[in-house]
Structure 1
Amino acid sequence: MLRKVGILFFAMIAAAFLAQGCQSTGSVKDRLDDTGSPADGSVSADMIPAVRGLPPDPGPVSVYRIAPDDLLSITVFQVEELSSEQRVLASGEIYMPLVGAIEVAGLTPDEAQRRIAAKLEKNYLQNPQVRVSVEEAASQKVVVIGAVNAPGVYPIKGRTTLLQAIAQARGLNSIAADEEVVVFRGASQEDMKAYVVSFADVRSGKVRDPMLIGGDTVQVPESASAKFFKGLFGFIRGPSVPVPAY
């Protein structure tokens, strides 16, 4: 009897494996040839072009203008009581001791620090030295999905790298395929490209840690073994059927 059960179990594993293989369309990486084109030559209107390698470096950060919900670090030199972190309100204002509301939305950090300095100098300080930096650009976000511990939308903090974005999502989970992390980039569906990155190589320092930009989506696929066992258990259990109420 035990032998029959064992044979049946392994037969079910084999059947599930074959079913999984028949249903799988392959990963982004599997469908590419050496030039980054679909290996089977297929072309689809909704297909995202994919390349093996790192996304291009965005280069020098262009002039950033402060937006509502940004987190600003404000330093007034030699006046610690006035230095703080401030979240920009929906109205575009921040509130500081002594001067109250100051509108900063739409300004660059340099313009914001000059405006704050002018407010402080008017009635309170002589030649105040103010520094404003954007700690979190809420209008610039990346999406991290797939086999990570905390998928979600995360604000870019300064120049954010792939390692930092994965760390914000609390790292890869136990079923992640770290050899095939995909970075999607593009302002529209027509411009979108998928960059297949070896996260293991990035983490070990074999390749540089690529910079991300606002609007990027990072997808961490599940490992092949995790997909297989999910398919296996689904095959053994079969489709779920609601229990009728009597």
Structure 2
Amino acid sequence: MKQGQDAYQVAQPQAETKLPDQYKIGQGDELSLAVFGEPDLSAAKLVVDEAGRIQVPLVGSVVVAGMSPDEATKAIQNRLGSRYLRDPQVTLNVTTAAEKLVSVEGQVNHAGSYPITPNTTLLGAIAMAQSPTRIAKLDETMLFRNVNGQRMVARFDIKRIRAGIDPDPQVFAGDVIVVGFSQSKSIYRDIISMAGLLNVLTRF
């Protein structure tokens, strides 16, 4: 698990993150594929599956998630050109973009999946879940992300980010945010709740 400055190797700070020049293909996107002069290899609708792959005629399974359409086009073109066609002319387009979601779990008021934009940050995603609960452990906020096929986790301190001490990292589709649980706060609130109940019982 990455934490402190190392956590930003998993999730780069927004201030240091350049927005992509092109759209990045993601799970659930619908694509169209055209191979010039090869109608049998073209496809009007290819859906990116949960593994980030599409099934390309003749070539088979190709990972395209995280690529721009141009990058995916070159990948398919290279696959076709290496074994099947001479100088293939390939065009890949995103016809329907799937909604991009991030999951927010743990000690937030309304856990769930929320749509994000290219500008959404960690604090913004937590705000969509209507902020942490009173027993949240803000310095144990975990961000889970798939990086190059590996599941990575980074730990952040929301208090430091709110104070402007640490950068607010950008979040991406498929990320899972888990806000930690403070045992000491929970016990304190239990005591307060019990004291309130005892007072009520005493009065009656």
TM-score, with structure 2 as normaliser: 0.49
TM-score, with structure 1 as normaliser: 0.41
> Which structure is higher in strand share?
2
Name which structure has the greater RCO, CA cutoff 8 Å, separation 6+: 2
